């Protein structure tokens, strides 16, 4: 974890599961690829909406061109917002971290997803590791791509004090333990 992230104190309402999940997700999140993609879709939609509004402002609405460009800009606004929501629903899902690590056998990818169940004060962490197929010499077929999935569940009370402040050291220690366990399982 970076020192900038480590220095920030995260305090939440301990009675709200979504606040607790959001705080843990923020402490875990280092890659902003998903957020950047959704922001790009949102900004593109807003640019088209603003362009349509400006065009409608400088030209009378009764002109056929103005109605046409307003229709196009509104359509593009909804299209890009639909892309943003579809990306969040079908691509990002519950993923809060994407990373890769170069090993002697290739680049290993790590994906961490999180979740909570209704009325259940446990933080669910899903870790997926994939290893690319190994290249082999000679006539021996390459070993197939190896994927490992592990799910861990821990009560929020282990990571938050009485005031609702996240104990980063405990949170990060548990994450390191979960990653080490998943990697050990992955190597077997």
Tell whether 44 and 109 lie within a shared domain: no
Give residue-wise pLDDT tens across range 14-59: 999 999 999 998 888 767 788 899 999 999 999 999 999 999 889 9
Is 113:98 a contact under the CB 8 Å cutoff? Answer: no
Tokens matching residue 132: 């690319």
Could you say which of 46, 64, 92 is where a domain stops? 92
Is 153:125 a contact under the CB 8 Å cutoff? Answer: yes
Give residue-wise pLDDT tens across range 145-170: 788 899 999 999 999 999 999 999 99
pLDDT band at 171 (very low <50, low <70, confident <90, very high): very high
Residue for token pair 């999940």: 21
When pLDDT is averaged across residues 120-136 and rounded to a whole number, the result is 84
Tell whether 61 and 20 lie within a shared domain: no
Question: Does residue 151 sit within a domain?
Answer: yes
Handedness of CA 52, 53, 56, 58 (dihedral sign): negative
Lowest mean pLDDT, pick from 23-37, 79-93, 124-138: 124-138
Domain count, the chain: 2
Question: Does residue 117 sit within a domain?
Answer: yes
Tell whether 40 and 121 lie within a shared domain: no
106: containing domain: 11-31+94-187
Question: Does residue 153 sit within a domain?
Answer: yes
Instruction: Give the H/E segment covering residue 99.
Output: strand 95-103
pLDDT for residue 92 is more than 90: no
Give the pLDDT confidence score for residue 28 in this predicted structure.
85
Give the pLDDT confidence score for residue 143 in this predicted structure.
64
Tell whether 20 and 67 lie within a shared domain: no
Tell whether 15 and 62 lie within a shared domain: no
- Residue with more model confidence, 143 or 89: 89
Cβ atoms < 10 Å from Cβ of 168? 17
Tell whether 41 and 121 lie within a shared domain: no
Instruction: Give the H/E segment covering residue 76.
Output: helix 64-86
Tell whether 130 and 168 lie within a shared domain: yes
Tell whether 104 and 19 lie within a shared domain: yes
What is the model's pTM? 0.72
**Angstrom distance (rounded) from CA 74 to CA 92:** 26
Give the pLDDT confidence score for residue 62 in this predicted structure.
86
Tell whether 108 and 161 lie within a shared domain: yes
Tell whether 127 and 179 lie within a shared domain: yes
**Angstrom distance (rounded) from CA 92 to CA 86:** 9
When pLDDT is averaged across residues 75-96 and rounded to a whole number, the result is 93
Question: Does residue 128 sit within a domain?
Answer: yes
For Cα atoms 182, 154, 13, give the angle at the middle one, nearest 5 degrees: 135
């Amino acid at each position: 974890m970076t020192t900038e992230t480590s220095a920030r104190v995260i305090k939440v309402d301990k009675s709200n599961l979504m606040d607790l999940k959001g705080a843990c997700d923020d402490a875990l999140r280092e890659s902003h690829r998903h957020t950047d993609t959704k922001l790009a879709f949102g900004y593109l939609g807003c640019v088209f909406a603003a362009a349509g509004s400006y065009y409608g402002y400088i030209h009378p609405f009764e002109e056929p061109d103005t109605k046409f460009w307003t229709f196009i800009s509104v359509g593009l606004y909804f299209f890009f917002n639909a892309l943003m929501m579809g990306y969040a629903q079908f691509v990002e899902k519950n993923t809060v971290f994407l990373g890769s690590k170069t090993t002697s056998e290739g680049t290993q990818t790590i994906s961490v997803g999180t979740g909570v169940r209704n009325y259940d004060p446990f933080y669910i962490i899903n870790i997926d590791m994939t290893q690319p197929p190994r290249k082999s010499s000679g006539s021996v077929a390459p070993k197939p791509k190896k994927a490992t999935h592990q799910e861990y569940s821990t009560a929020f009370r282990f990571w938050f004090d009485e005031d609702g402040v996240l104990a980063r050291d405990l949170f990060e220690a548990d994450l390191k333990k979960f990653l080490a366990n998943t990697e050990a399982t992955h190597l077997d």
